[in-house]
Structure 1
Amino acid sequence: MFDSLTLSRLPAEDEALRVPVRAMIAEAIASLPVHKRARSWQGFDAAFSRALGEAGYLGLSLPKRYGGGERGPFARFVVVEELLAAGAPVGAHWIADRQSAPLILNYGTEAQREFYLPRICRGEAFFCIGMSEPGSGSDLASVRTRAERTDKGWLLNGQKIWTTNAMHDDYMIALVRTSGTAADRHQGLSQLIVDLKAPGVTIRPIVDLTGDAHFAEVFFENVELGEDALIGREGDGWHQVTAELAFERSGPERIYSSIVLVDAWIRHVAAAGRLDNGTAELAGHLTAQLATLRAMSIAVTARLAAGESPVTEASLVKDLGTTLEQSVPTLIGDDLGGHPDEPVDAELYKTLMYVSQIAPSFSLRGGTREILRGIIARGLGLR
């Protein structure tokens, strides 16, 4: 596996996107305090997402005939890296741009592509993912939410949980059982597009430890869907989901969740004039790990650009990346605590508190550490 993860460089034509997108982001976040910027891909700002769409920064890898930029994964990597490094609020378009659009492009009907993809590219259609269910933990294959065929299409019943921004989004792509039982595991699963405004859909926000409510539980009670709600072939849901998760686990979002806190700490250290060995060692430790993980993430993106599905490699980057992200608030908190006579700016303190509280979720979203390590072990032939 490691031989296949060849290090790559970002193409010059994609690097050129940094200057204009950075200027646009700087203007958008100018009034955002640091602790708000630390939320980044939990932050929901529909107007900002529409502005990104108007500027051509959404759907960068989609064909032009669907409103995309036809640029490939490297262009999206550059834009996403700039957005996350600055702490821009990207939650509105995040799932649609990263996962839903490629899924519909690869498996959807032409009618689905023509209807949904241009809206995603314009920042006008927001999606969430319906995978997790109550009582299932990370056992995605134990799906119980069920869609039965009817004369008009599908009748959907069941429940999803930990669904990001469902209360704000337009659609959910839900993994549901269309045949068999939960005991059948990977067999009989399909993906359906659910209009979240449809009768029978109930959404309840879940308040987390930070006081935010970007998660939700979603209930389906006799929700009627058309035949055109099905993505791909019935029963192919598991194959489609595993391909989709390679997009979720491979990007820079698995490196930069704590980066706003790192930047705030560096500014604090510089303002305090502190250049002791411990400070230099911590800054070097974080920088070295970030640089290495970034190189690995670019290498995985190169595999995606080549049309491959680097499931094992993406899982490795995600596991290592979230481990670093989770360590950041502890390391910085210990550093600040080790200098008790050094005044701490209120914004740095708020940001540290937020990241400390949200950090446990970093290794849950996109697949738990245990699930990822199982995937890695299988990829290495160890199980």
Structure 2
Amino acid sequence: MSTLAPLVIAAIPAEDEVLRTEVSAFLQAAVADRPAWERAKTWSGVDRDLSRQMGARGWIGVTLPPAYGGGGRSVYARYVIVEECLNWGAPVGWHWIADRQSAPMILRFGTEAQKQFYIPPICRGESAFCIGMSEPNSGSDLASVRTRATRTDTGWLLSGQKIWTTNADQCQHMIALVRTSGTAEDRHRGLSQFIVDLSLPGVEVRPIQDLSGESHFSEVFFDDVELPDGALIGAEGEGWAQVTAELAFERSGPERIFSSIILFDAWLDFVRALGDQRSSTQRLAGRIFTELATLRAMSVALTDQLAQGKSPVVEAALVKDLGTTLEQNIPLWLADDLFARDPGSVPSSLLHTLVMLTRIAPSFSLRGGTREILRGMVARGLGLR
């Protein structure tokens, strides 16, 4: 029997939508001098000063309690801020994961000491986190992790390796899913999460260069890294429940829909400037607009579920799979259009943006869970396997 609940169409409340004007004006000015190809990097781009400015305006940790430096507002307020960051292509990668996942997870499962220590600097835009989930030869099969933390007299000893870790070379901390008992064959049992200071002895971060020539991902090695008792999040063995709750935040947001939006906007500006009214151009624009509108409605509906305290893990997997498929299709579809035109008629800046997105688009269906794993989750949610 299907366990996939129907999504109920929702709208962003007026008290949260009103944020859009101020956030949009600030971000538009902040990126005014950045070319489209650079803005297209958006949440993988890093600008620490911009993150601190956003933190000072209360736009990081906006859903977190004021007692820890947060804004105390709804998840819809954060949705508006995120959407505008993507819309303008703001380089917000410094605080992105800490704001989206790490701080809410520490708030939900961490000790009071962890909340007091880690959350306020995240809200100020001063602290960056990465997520240590994937491992070599495991892909998105998180339950098969082999990195291990072993109890010692003073805390824990961490050994192993993580891979495809976004911005690990930029971050101060990692939240790592590791095994504290049993073996990889035990699957969900025996997994725990730790906050790892990446400056500790025994930690080595090796950036991975991608097709664009940049290094958004890294390998991270742990060679007998000594962790204090206070590094454990929650109780030992609760890591799997923590991760599954966390992934609903990672997979359902607008960043799983709008990663190619800067390229699409640049293409629209180009065809509008030409006065291109050809039916093929209109069909292509209509196809992209239609898919974007549908996926955005689904994403907002998931935000409504999160606002109700639910954890729509399977539904988020579906939106993430559909969203990243569109994100990857946009560069392909626009390339077909642009290269069918007269040579030299397409602005070099538009071509540069297209080339950059084409090179990084394969990663869209890797980060946050591969397509095969997500479709397996959806199939189980529908009772098909």
1:191 pairs with 2:193: yes
Out of 325, 339, 348, the position equivalent to 2:341 is 339
For the residues of structure 1 that align with 2:171 and 2:106, how far apart are their CA atoms? 17
Matches within 5 A, 1:86-125: 86-125=88-127
- 1:148 aligns with 150
TM-score by length of 1: 0.98
Deviations 1:239-296 (A, max 9, x none): 1111110000010001100000000000111112211111011111111111111010
Q: CA deviation at 1:23?
A: 1.1
For the residues of structure 2 that align with 1:322 and 1:64, how far apart are their CA atoms? 34
Deviations 1:63-93 (A, max 9, x none): 1111111111100000000000111101100
- 1:348 aligns with 350
For the residues of structure 1 that align with 2:297 and 2:138, how far apart are their CA atoms? 34
Query: Secondary structure of 2:161's partner?
Result: strand
- 1:84 aligns with 86
Task: List alignment gaps of at least 5 residues for structure 1.
Answer: none
Q: CA deviation at 1:305?
A: 0.1
Equivalent residue pairs, number: 383
Deviations 1:326-355 (A, max 9, x none): 100110000112222561111100100011
Cα RMSD (Å): 1.0
For the residues of structure 2 that align with 1:71 and 1:368, how far apart are their CA atoms? 32
Query: Secondary structure of 2:169's partner?
Result: coil
Out of 191, 207, 212, the position equivalent to 1:210 is 212
1:366 pairs with 2:362: no
For the residues of structure 1 that align with 2:139 and 2:78, how far apart are their CA atoms? 31
The question of whether the paired residues in 1 share the 8 Å contact of 2:44 and 2:91 is answered with yes
Deviations 1:23-65 (A, max 9, x none): 1101210111110001011101111111110010000110111
- 2:56 aligns with 54
For the residues of structure 1 that align with 2:168 and 2:327, how far apart are their CA atoms? 25
Out of 285, 302, 305, the position equivalent to 2:304 is 302
- 2:138 aligns with 136
Letter in 2 for 1:138: S
For the residues of structure 2 that align with 1:3 and 1:44, how far apart are their CA atoms? 37
- 1:240 aligns with 242
Out of 34, 37, 40, the position equivalent to 1:38 is 40
For the residues of structure 2 that align with 1:263 and 1:165, how far apart are their CA atoms? 26
Query: Secondary structure of 2:165's partner?
Result: coil
Task: List alignment gaps of at least 5 residues for structure 2.
Answer: none
After TM superposition, the structure 1 stretch with the greater mean CA deviation from structure 2, 211-220 or 133-142, is: 133-142
Q: CA deviation at 1:173?
A: 0.1
Out of 22, 40, 45, the position equivalent to 2:24 is 22
For the residues of structure 2 that align with 1:2 and 1:252, how far apart are their CA atoms? 21
Identity of aligned residues (%): 63
Query: Secondary structure of 1:163's partner?
Result: strand
Letter in 1 for 2:216: H
Letter in 1 for 2:274: A
For the residues of structure 1 that align with 2:296 and 2:268, how far apart are their CA atoms? 19
Deviations 1:117-166 (A, max 9, x none): 11110011100000111121222111111111111111111111111111
- 1:323 aligns with 325
The question of whether the paired residues in 2 share the 8 Å contact of 1:272 and 1:342 is answered with no
Query: Secondary structure of 1:59's partner?
Result: coil
Letter in 1 for 2:33: S
For the residues of structure 2 that align with 1:117 and 1:30, how far apart are their CA atoms? 31
TM-score by length of 2: 0.98
After TM superposition, the structure 1 stretch with the greater mean CA deviation from structure 2, 373-382 or 185-194, is: 373-382
For the residues of structure 2 that align with 1:360 and 1:225, how far apart are their CA atoms? 35
For the residues of structure 1 that align with 2:126 and 2:357, how far apart are their CA atoms? 30
For the residues of structure 1 that align with 2:362 and 2:142, how far apart are their CA atoms? 20
For the residues of structure 1 that align with 2:121 and 2:348, how far apart are their CA atoms? 40
Q: CA deviation at 1:3?
A: 5.5
For the residues of structure 2 that align with 1:62 and 1:4, how far apart are their CA atoms? 28
For the residues of structure 2 that align with 1:28 and 1:146, how far apart are their CA atoms? 43
The question of whether the paired residues in 1 share the 8 Å contact of 2:129 and 2:173 is answered with yes
The question of whether the paired residues in 1 share the 8 Å contact of 2:149 and 2:179 is answered with yes
For the residues of structure 2 that align with 1:139 and 1:351, how far apart are their CA atoms? 33
The question of whether the paired residues in 1 share the 8 Å contact of 2:4 and 2:382 is answered with no
